[in-house]
């Protein structure tokens, strides 16, 4: 099933990280997006120096739990996974799996000023929109300015939390000015924002209501155009795409799967070639069916029990309740059974390992007692909140309909909490209903994760924890602080990360933030959310692999999905 840039639909995290604090000021290297130099062991040759003939139709299997809304508004966090990467492109692609390696996309380069308060992008010459009109620096400036004019579009809080104050276009350059050092936000504004055409968005319904406009026939600069019905999206190679000869795959079919069963069956049979969902018993069900079937799902985020910390939720806002849940859950068991061993157990700091090992404080986790389940501590903690088997606590946990691994994981969690006196009822909801409740704080507990990872744990932790990313109950906290956590000390630490003068200082800040997570338990990591990825090499080559991790591999990851699409080729056409 779908996970966002990991598990949520594509709302954006409020803040992202670019490279380390010591990255250079000027970046002008231009390798015309999607380049790679090493060949993968199972995925075939990469496309760094080699070109391929166009052809073939590739089918994506990514269960949604609902039919397609046929809305492609890249600002709309509920629907933009269908447009970002496929249709709308960023300025610079940053690969979090390769230590923030950058690939110039719509910007051929950029330069910071000395104190990192201003960045100037050089916009690539010769790029056309899919309707044939030229893409210019004015389009880029318009994209960011529209977020200021309509704050509901500013999913990343660029004009507030990031301190963006001005965006101007001069010739083929776009300059962005910030109130403070903004390097830490680079990943957000340069990689996660899709550039839109001014000539489309400045007129008609798009101009009148840019936040609610469905953008049913999107005009983008990316490798594909799209035709949509509720049951299927058909992407066709954009004849005006700026990278000559690409994309190599002529057409994509993206069916709307309502359940894992048929989606997984299509993968196992070879009917679908690019999978992005959980498969129970993947070795016997999928891998053993063909030597062409492969999987590689790197962990990048946390799947967590999300408690509502607002005082209006009397039970879950009590530390003792959260401690009891955290002590009681056997994360290794949930990993092994609920996730079929395909997702590693999480840890209570929220630092994903081994992806971000250097930030992890294993000793602090053990000292806090969260290195293994402990029912004695769980019972004692729950008693401080006034609950026990004789005075049980009844809670509802919301999840997403059709996410069978979540269902299995929650079933284990329910069994582990019941002896304590915590009775859990799962409420399985459609995507839209789930996110509406999650963002507005209409839940006791939720099972889920952040929408996007970044080049360090900072991206996810800031989304979870910074008070700028939350909102009062009833208002949307789509920036990531769904649990309504507020801690001024944590805010200060996260703000300090942005101006840290070295990688060592950044690591120190994350470990200090982790200590607060261990103490306050604002969210309770259970497993590490993998980029679900299955791929078939019979007819298609160029896939990302552990040996050649040129992008996050799941179809729902943007703009990584574009990098995958620019590498893939159809073998029979060669």
CA dist., res. 406 & res. 416, Å (int) = 15
**If you average pLDDT over residues 481-503, what whole number do you get?**
93
**If you average pLDDT over residues 443-459, what whole number do you get?**
90
Q: Is the pLDDT of residue 1 over 70?
A: no
Q: How far is CA 225 from CA 85, 162, 240, 572, in A?
A: 11, 32, 10, 23
**If you average pLDDT over residues 417-441, what whole number do you get?**
96
pLDDT category of residue 43 using cuts at 50, 70 and 90: very low
Lay out the sheet containing 274-275: strands in order across.
Answer: 224-229, 232-237, 249-255, 55-61, 274-275, 534-536, 293-295
Within 13 Å, how many C-alpha atoms sit on residue 174's CB side? 25
Dump the DSSP string for 345-414: B--TT---TTTTGGG--HHHHHHHT-SS--HHHHHHHHHHTT-BTTB-EEEEEEEETT-HHHHHHHHHHH
Q: How far is CA 153 from CA 16, 148, 150, 191, in A?
A: 17, 8, 6, 16
Q: Which helix (H) or strand (E) holds 199?
A: helix 198-201
SS3 of residue 109 by DSSP: strand
Instruction: State the residue for tokens 């960023």.
Output: 90
* pLDDT tens track for 89-112: 999 999 988 878 999 999 999 999
For 419, other C-beta atoms within 10 Å of its C-beta total 12
Q: Which helix (H) or strand (E) holds 124?
A: none
Q: Is the pLDDT of residue 27 over 80?
A: no
Contact predicate 280/339, CB 8 Å = no
Predicted local confidence at residue 49, as pLDDT: 63
Predicted local confidence at residue 12, as pLDDT: 35
Q: Is the pLDDT of residue 168 over 60?
A: yes
Which is more confident, 36 or 352?
Answer: 352
**If you average pLDDT over residues 131-137, what whole number do you get?**
98
Token pair of 433 as six digits: 């209903």
Instruction: State the residue for tokens 């060949």.
Output: 39
* pLDDT tens track for 360-378: 999 999 999 999 999 999 9
Look at residues 511, 520, 480 and name the one whose alpha carbon lies nearest to residue 493.
511
* pLDDT tens track for 295-348: 999 998 999 999 999 999 999 999 999 999 999 999 999 999 999 999 999 999
Q: How far is CA 299 from CA 47, 115, 282, 391, in A?
A: 25, 34, 17, 39
pLDDT category of residue 382 using cuts at 50, 70 and 90: very high
Q: Which phi-psi region, left, alpha or beta, contains residue 32 (left: φ > 0; alpha: ψ -120 to 50)?
A: left
pLDDT category of residue 221 using cuts at 50, 70 and 90: very high
pLDDT category of residue 26 using cuts at 50, 70 and 90: very low
Predicted local confidence at residue 292, as pLDDT: 98
Q: Which phi-psi region, left, alpha or beta, contains residue 281 (left: φ > 0; alpha: ψ -120 to 50)?
A: left
Q: Is the pLDDT of residue 5 over 70?
A: no
Token pair of 392 as six digits: 């049980």
Token pair of 513 as six digits: 């933030």
pLDDT category of residue 455 using cuts at 50, 70 and 90: confident
Using a cut of 0.75, tell me whether the model's pTM lies above it. yes
For the chain, percent of residues with pLDDT exceeding 90 = 79
pLDDT category of residue 498 using cuts at 50, 70 and 90: confident
Q: Is the pLDDT of residue 270 over 60?
A: yes
Rounded mean pLDDT of the chain? 90
Q: Is the pLDDT of residue 68 over 50?
A: yes
Counting every residue written for the chain, the total comes to 574
**If you average pLDDT over residues 178-207, what whole number do you get?**
95
Predicted local confidence at residue 46, as pLDDT: 36
Predicted local confidence at residue 65, as pLDDT: 77
**For residue 294, what are the β-bridge partners?**
535
Look at residues 277, 217, 534, 537 and name the one whose alpha carbon lies nearest to residue 402.
277
**If you average pLDDT over residues 531-560, what whole number do you get?**
95
Which is more confident, 279 or 161?
Answer: 279
pLDDT category of residue 278 using cuts at 50, 70 and 90: confident
Q: Is the pLDDT of residue 42 over 80?
A: no
CA dist., res. 206 & res. 237, Å (int) = 25
**If you average pLDDT over residues 412-424, what whole number do you get?**
98
**For residue 26, what are the β-bridge partners?**
111
pLDDT category of residue 562 using cuts at 50, 70 and 90: very high
Taking the CA atoms of 471, 473, 478 and 483 in sequence, report the sign of the dihedral they define: positive
CA dist., res. 461 & res. 446, Å (int) = 17
Q: Is the pLDDT of residue 140 over 80?
A: yes
Look at residues 288, 239, 249 and name the one whose alpha carbon lies nearest to residue 267.
288
Q: Is the pLDDT of residue 18 over 80?
A: no
Token pair of 550 as six digits: 């040129």
CA dist., res. 401 & res. 496, Å (int) = 39
Predicted local confidence at residue 59, as pLDDT: 98
Q: Is the pLDDT of residue 36 over 90?
A: no
Token pair of 458 as six digits: 């900072």
Q: Which phi-psi region, left, alpha or beta, contains residue 311 (left: φ > 0; alpha: ψ -120 to 50)?
A: alpha
Q: Is the pLDDT of residue 39 over 50?
A: no
């Amino acid at each position: 099933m779908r996970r966002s840039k990991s598990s949520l639909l594509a709302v954006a995290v409020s803040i992202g990280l670019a490279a380390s604090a010591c990255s250079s000021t000027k970046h002008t290297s231009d390798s015309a997006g999607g380049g790679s130099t090493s060949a993968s062991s199972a995925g075939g040759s990469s496309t760094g120096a080699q070109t391929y003939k166009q052809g073939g139709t590739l089918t994506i299997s990514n269960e949604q739990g609902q039919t397609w809304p046929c809305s492609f508004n890249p600002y709309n966090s509920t629907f933009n996974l269908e447009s970002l990467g496929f249709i709308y492109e960023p300025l610079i692609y940053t690969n979090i799996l390769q230590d923030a390696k950058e690939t110039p996309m719509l910007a051929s380069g950029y330069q910071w000023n000395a104190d990192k308060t201003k960045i100037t992008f050089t916009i690539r010459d010769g790029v056309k929109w899919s309707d044939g009109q030229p893409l210019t620096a004015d389009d880029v400036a318009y994209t960011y300015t529209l977020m200021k004019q309509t704050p509901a579009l500013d999913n990343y809080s660029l004009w507030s939390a990031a301190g963006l104050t001005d965006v101007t276009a001069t010739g083929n350059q776009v300059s962005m000015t910030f109130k403070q050092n903004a390097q830490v936000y680079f990943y957000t504004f340069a990689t996660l924002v899709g550039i839109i055409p001014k000539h489309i968005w400045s007129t008609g319904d798009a101009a009148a209501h840019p936040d609610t406009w469905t953008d049913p026939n999107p005009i983008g600069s990316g490798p594909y155009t799209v035709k949509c019905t509720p049951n299927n999206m058909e992407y066709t190679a954009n004849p005006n795409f700026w990278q000559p000869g690409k994309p190599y795959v002529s057409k994509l079919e993206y069916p709307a799967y309502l359940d894992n069963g048929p989606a997984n069956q299509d993968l196992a049979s070879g009917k679908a070639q690019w999978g992005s969902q959980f498969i129970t018993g993947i070795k016997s069900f999928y891998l053993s069916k063909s030597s062409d079937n492969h999987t590689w799902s790197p962990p990048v985020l946390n799947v967590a029990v999300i408690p509502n910390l607002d005082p209006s939720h009397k039970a879950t806002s009590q530390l003792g309740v959260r401690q009891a849940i955290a002590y009681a859950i056997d994360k290794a068991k949930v990993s092994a059974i609920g996730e079929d061993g395909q997702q590693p157990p999480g840890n209570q700091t929220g630092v994903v390992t081994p992806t971000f090992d250097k930030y992890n404080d294993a000793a602090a986790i053990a000292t806090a007692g969260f290195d293994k389940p402990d029912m004695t501590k769980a019972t004692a903690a729950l008693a401080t909140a006034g609950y026990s088997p004789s005075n049980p606590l009844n809670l509802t946990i919301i999840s997403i309909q059709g996410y069978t691994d979540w269902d299995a994981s929650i079933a284990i969690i329910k069994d582990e909490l019941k002896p304590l006196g915590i009775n859990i009822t799962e409420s399985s909801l459609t995507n839209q209903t789930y996110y509406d409740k999650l963002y507005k704080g209409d839940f006791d507990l939720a099972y889920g994760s952040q929408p996007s990872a970044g080049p360090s744990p900072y991206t996810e932790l800031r989304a979870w924890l910074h008070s700028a990313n939350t909102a009062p109950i009833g208002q949307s906290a789509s920036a990531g602080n769904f649990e309504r956590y507020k801690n001024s000390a944590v805010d200060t630490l996260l703000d300090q990360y942005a101006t840290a003068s070295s990688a060592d200082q950044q690591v120190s800040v994350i470990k200090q933030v982790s200590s607060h997570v261990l103490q306050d338990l604002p969210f309770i990591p259970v497993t590490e959310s993998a980029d679900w990825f299955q791929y078939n090499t019979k007819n298609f080559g160029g896939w990302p692999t552990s040996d050649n991790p040129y992008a996050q591999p799941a179809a729902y990851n943007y703009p990584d999905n574009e990098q995958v699409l620019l590498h893939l080729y159809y073998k029979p056409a060669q």
